[in-house]
Amino acid sequence: MAGNGNAWPKEDAALLTNLVKLGIEWSIIAKAIGKNKTAKQCKHKWERIKYYDSPKPDVVYTERICLDCQRPFQSEGVKNRVCTPCKKTEKWGAYRG
């Protein structure tokens, strides 16, 4: 988290990753990293590393009918029901608030 003083140097994140993969306890990992890191902070950082470094699924496009212009378009998912050209109109901008 940049800017709040809680950023982890890359070396510390790499050390954390290596120690977790070795099965070391969180309290020992915190001591190894030092810099007043707690076991809870180390576990939280590991959860973030796992989330952000894990492979993301590829987007699967589905043909849908635009709710505005009624033309088919390639949708990225169930929450994507309006085509890009319609989203760029003034009408669509009004819906965004």
Tens digits of residue pLDDT in 33-79: 998 899 999 999 999 988 887 777 788 899 999 999 999 999 988 88
Alpha-carbon dihedral 17, 19, 22, 26, rounded to 10 degrees: -110
As for how many domains the chain has, the answer is 2
Domain assignment present for 27:
yes
The verdict on 75 and 49 lying in the same domain is no
Tell me: do 20 and 45 sit in the same domain. Answer: yes
Q: 41 and 67 share a domain?
A: no
Q: What is the rounded CA–CA span in Å between residue 52 and residue 62?
A: 26
Q: Report yes or no on 4 lying in a domain.
A: no
pTM reported for the whole predicted model: 0.50
**Half-sphere exposure (CA, 13 Å, Cβ side) for 70?**
0
In a domain, residue 66? The reply is yes
Same domain, yes or no: 74 and 42: no
The whole domain housing 68 covers 62-95
Cβ–Cβ contacts within 10 Å for residue 45, how many? 20
Looking at every residue in the chain, the average pLDDT score rounds to: 86
In a domain, 30, yes or no: yes
**Do both 67 and 86 map to the same domain?**
yes
